[in-house]
Structure 1
Amino acid sequence: MQSKVFYIVSFVMLFLFSCKKDAVVDLNTLVQVDSAQLTQGAIVTVSKDTTTVTYGNVEAKFSQTSTCFPSREVFTFTASGVALPAGGYYSWSFGDGSIENGSNVTHYYQAAGSFVVTLMVMANANNMLAKVSFGVKALGQQTKPEAIFSTKFDFPQNLNYVTFNSASSVNQGDIIQFKYNWGDGTEYISSVGLVRHEFPHKIFDTTYAVKLTILSNFGCTDDTTVRVTIPGRYNIKGKFRTESFDACTNERILFTAEAENVPTGAIYEWNFSDGTGTRTGNPIMYKYKFPNDYDVIMSIKLNGREIYRTNKLVNAKGENPKPTAKFEETLVWDYPTTQRWSFNSRSTIPTSTIDSYQWNFGNGNTNNEFFSFIETVYNKETTSRSYTVQLIVTGNGCADTARKTITIPPR
């Protein structure tokens, strides 16, 4: 029987009535001798789950079933040893106000507690031959422990070291033992619910079925199992490369991972650092809206956990990165042998600023000194002559060219 028998010998009283005179036995002075306690002829013995109290030829036995759910704690009391006269009987008082007659009776207590049970040997309803009193301890009905625990990775530098915290409970009594089977071939027994365990270090993710078994002071148990995944230590190396397509018209950048030792089933996650969130895939094409240097982060994840990360700066030109070259020409003055012309850039760039103005006036003169407005002199010859004026503007690494023709009259 699973439950242990508890009895209180500290206040056991045995009374034997002979010739209408009580013989009192004080069991506080009992001496333990093996499985029996002896004093002045009274004997209290315990054998497995049965307790026997004897004095002379009066014998009272009791046992109790398990209090653990779904069982129900029931006491069985047995009286013997007396040759009852006609009309004689055994009467039991259970200490909770209940009385029952018979040589073999059962009783259950509604609540846990200590009770004094009295056996009376009755010749008839008016004549008591003997009385024996002893203590029993009821554990209560259907003790039900419930095993619950949680896990937490408290040590980021060592994810093999895990904290386990029991939130187990019991409806009566106390939990006195927490037994963890870690699922890695080891186990641990503790009197407290908060424990830590370091799992083996392995290359790949490993899942362990961790089982907690709790034990109450009434001998009742419950268990539960939680699966715990311990991350592997992956020796991943490498970064990623980029390749730009149609940079100055409709730029798209191809990102390709170049990592080694990546486990099967891993997912590549990209953060392009432009506030649009993350994308997954490898390789992956992406288009930026604005020109900038972006700190791109590549994460490799397995079962939702990041196992590797790398990053690097990537220059993007964004949408409409190309400047548009345009300029106006104006005749400043006209002398008999020369003409002075001015040229004023009206070039634009949608998303950035122009980086350079490169002028070629067609007369052998050039200027690359970042002048958006500039003048030059043309010499008149014996016949009229046309010159092609060219402006190249750059921005975002892109360029555009504008050309115009001016004619210089003869002198």
Structure 2
Amino acid sequence: MKQLSVLFLVGFMAILLFSCKKEADIDLDKLVQVDSVQITKGAIVTVARDTTIVTYGNVEAKFSQTSTCYPSKEVFTFSASGVGLPAGGYYSWSFGDGNIANGATTTHSYQAAGSFVVTLMVMANANNMLAKVSFGVKALGQQTKPEAIFTTKFDFPQNINYVTFNSASSINQGDIIQFKYNWGDGTEYISSVGLVRHEFPKKVNDTSYAVKLTVLSNFGCTDDTTVQVTIPGMYSIKGKFKTESIDACTNERILFTAEAENVPTGAVYEWDFSDGTGPRTGNPILYKYKHPNDYDVIMTIKLNGREIYKTNKLVNSKGENPRPKAVFEETLVWDYPTSQRWSFNSKSTIPTSTIDSYHWNFGNGNTNNEFYSFIETSYNKETIGKSYTVQLIVTGNGCADTARKTITIPPK
């Protein structure tokens, strides 16, 4: 990384200046030695490992830089040599960003990326410059570490093992030039773009993979992040569910029990009873309907929030108050010397439905099972008075209720 600075040198300029005024006790010609060839060709630049050396005559400037990748901070180190300075002499540096420093060795950091012209001045004193060497450096600045981020999306319903990965990685300075995905299934993929897709192996059970993304910037900095990706298993579930009605005609509740095979451990049973109350979970599960009806009940099996099986069937419910109430009135229609005729009028009701049948037993051996809510029958008089129990059974919603009354026939 440190050698890269040589590749970005924006040019080199070396100018040797001699003061018009010479101090009587200093031989300035001996301090800075430049021959005609060097003056013609300018500065000489060499690279030794991670250090760049700029020479002009016997003036030598060296610089190197540290990595900008976190947790490092890019720092340039500059050093000057080659001249035996007189008493009071010094080296002065101008870094091209408005900052200066003095000393044979100094350090400097650039806050922003860019190309800068660094100038080294050899000073006999504050008013007498012996030589000046200028050269370019390429600074990467600070905050060059990328941040690795990516999202996943299962956007191929026909192939749940095929997953889309989209990098949302960013960098403050520079560009991300490489995206390396390690899928966690023994394979990896390197791309120059952040949007890639991968097909994971098909397995019977849900399988989680630690997917790792490593991003590389053009400055050589890297960052990585790992996300757990769960690939759904291919489950061969089959079966339905059974229902059992409890206290159907008094306080109906229906017990739903799944009868499914090959259901994985940890699966959740979710029920939609199709009456607008929303899903419920459990197995078995007891449920009470408010209204009588045929309901299309849906049982869904989920694992880790994902649907892995679904089945349904119609279920009949009697609802609340399904049982009819049997009531009737009796009326003497006429009275003959040898017989009496009575009428019976049903006042039976059912709260949530309609009555399906009327079953009359008049107690005198006569019955009627036709759909009559109003009916008449005759009783013969005997030598002594006699009582008869009249019974009405009404049905509705599959439930029944019975009402009884006693009538007395006088003797003839």
2:319 paired residue number: 318
State the alpha-carbon separation in 2 of the partners of residues 350 and 323 from structure 1.
7
The verdict on how the C-alpha distance between 1:108 and 1:372 changes in structure 2, with shifts beyond 3 A counting, is: same
Residue by residue over 1:351-396, the C-alpha shift from the partner in whole angstroms, topping out at 9 and shown as x without a partner, is 3221111223345554333221222344556776654433221111
CA contact (8 A) 1:268 1:281 kept: yes
State the alpha-carbon separation in 2 of the partners of residues 372 and 24 from structure 1.
133
CA contact (8 A) 2:59 2:83 kept: no
Alignment of 1:195-210 (within 5 A): 195-210=196-211
1:243 paired residue number: 244
CA contact (8 A) 1:204 1:232 kept: yes
State the alpha-carbon separation in 1 of the partners of residues 357 and 345 from structure 2.
14
The verdict on how the C-alpha distance between 1:289 and 1:3 changes in structure 2, with shifts beyond 3 A counting, is: farther
The verdict on how the C-alpha distance between 1:282 and 1:24 changes in structure 2, with shifts beyond 3 A counting, is: farther
1:368 paired residue number: 369
* Distance apart, 1:255 and its partner CA: 1.8
* Distance apart, 1:110 and its partner CA: 3.3
* Distance apart, 1:66 and its partner CA: 1.8
* Distance apart, 1:262 and its partner CA: 1.0
> Is 1:13 aligned to 2:13, yes or no?
yes
* Distance apart, 1:103 and its partner CA: 3.4
Residue by residue over 1:264-312, the C-alpha shift from the partner in whole angstroms, topping out at 9 and shown as x without a partner, is 2222233333344444332233333332222222222223333222221
The verdict on how the C-alpha distance between 1:3 and 1:260 changes in structure 2, with shifts beyond 3 A counting, is: farther
2:26 paired residue number: none
The verdict on how the C-alpha distance between 1:289 and 1:97 changes in structure 2, with shifts beyond 3 A counting, is: closer
Residue by residue over 1:124-155, the C-alpha shift from the partner in whole angstroms, topping out at 9 and shown as x without a partner, is 65555543321112222343433333333333
Alignment of 1:85-124 (within 5 A): 86-87=86-87, 89-122=90-123
> Is 1:188 aligned to 2:189, yes or no?
yes
2:147 paired residue number: 146
State the alpha-carbon separation in 2 of the partners of residues 17 and 89 from structure 1.
16
1:134 paired residue number: 135
> Is 1:284 aligned to 2:292, yes or no?
no
State the alpha-carbon separation in 1 of the partners of residues 265 and 8 from structure 2.
65
CA contact (8 A) 1:143 1:172 kept: yes
The verdict on how the C-alpha distance between 1:311 and 1:125 changes in structure 2, with shifts beyond 3 A counting, is: same
Alignment of 1:246-285 (within 5 A): 246-285=247-286
2:52 paired residue number: 51
Q: Residue type of the partner of 1:192?
A: V
State the alpha-carbon separation in 1 of the partners of residues 336 and 283 from structure 2.
68
| RMSD of Structure 2 on Structure 1 (CA) | 3.4
Q: Residue type of the partner of 2:155?
A: D
Residue by residue over 1:97-144, the C-alpha shift from the partner in whole angstroms, topping out at 9 and shown as x without a partner, is 333344332222233322111223455655555433211122223434
State the alpha-carbon separation in 2 of the partners of residues 157 and 292 from structure 1.
37
State the alpha-carbon separation in 2 of the partners of residues 344 and 283 from structure 1.
46
Q: Residue type of the partner of 1:268?
A: Y
2:310 paired residue number: 309
State the alpha-carbon separation in 1 of the partners of residues 115 and 223 from structure 2.
26
State the alpha-carbon separation in 2 of the partners of residues 378 and 203 from structure 1.
78
Q: TM-score, normalised by structure 2?
A: 0.83
The verdict on how the C-alpha distance between 1:222 and 1:231 changes in structure 2, with shifts beyond 3 A counting, is: same
* Distance apart, 1:186 and its partner CA: 2.2
State the alpha-carbon separation in 1 of the partners of residues 221 and 361 from structure 2.
98
Q: Residue type of the partner of 1:298?
A: M
Q: Residue type of the partner of 1:201?
A: K
CA contact (8 A) 1:14 1:24 kept: no
State the alpha-carbon separation in 2 of the partners of residues 410 and 129 from structure 1.
156
The verdict on how the C-alpha distance between 1:10 and 1:382 changes in structure 2, with shifts beyond 3 A counting, is: same
CA contact (8 A) 1:4 1:218 kept: no
State the alpha-carbon separation in 1 of the partners of residues 370 and 6 from structure 2.
104
2:398 paired residue number: 397
Residue by residue over 1:218-258, the C-alpha shift from the partner in whole angstroms, topping out at 9 and shown as x without a partner, is 33222222222222121111111112233223333222211
1:77 paired residue number: 78
CA contact (8 A) 2:215 2:222 kept: yes
Residue by residue over 1:65-107, the C-alpha shift from the partner in whole angstroms, topping out at 9 and shown as x without a partner, is 1223332221112334x35364455432221233334433222
1:357 paired residue number: 358
State the alpha-carbon separation in 2 of the partners of residues 3 and 306 from structure 1.
57
Q: Residue type of the partner of 1:218?
A: F
The verdict on how the C-alpha distance between 1:2 and 1:280 changes in structure 2, with shifts beyond 3 A counting, is: farther
State the alpha-carbon separation in 2 of the partners of residues 328 and 243 from structure 1.
38
Residue ranges of structure 1 left out of the alignment (5+ in a row): 27-38
> Is 1:295 aligned to 2:292, yes or no?
no
CA contact (8 A) 1:3 1:219 kept: no
2:65 paired residue number: 64
Q: Does the residue aligned with 1:5 lie in a helix, a strand or coil? A: helix
Higher strand share: 1
The verdict on how the C-alpha distance between 1:341 and 1:46 changes in structure 2, with shifts beyond 3 A counting, is: farther
State the alpha-carbon separation in 1 of the partners of residues 402 and 336 from structure 2.
30
Instruction: Please identify, of 207-216 and 401-410, the stretch whose mean Cα deviation from structure 2 is larger.
Output: 401-410
1:173 paired residue number: 174
* Distance apart, 1:184 and its partner CA: 1.8
2:24 paired residue number: none
Which ranges of 4 or more aligned residues in structure 1 deviate by more than 6 Å?
A: 18-26
The verdict on how the C-alpha distance between 1:25 and 1:343 changes in structure 2, with shifts beyond 3 A counting, is: farther
* Distance apart, 1:211 and its partner CA: 1.9
Q: TM-score, normalised by structure 1?
A: 0.83
Alignment of 1:29-40 (within 5 A): 40=41
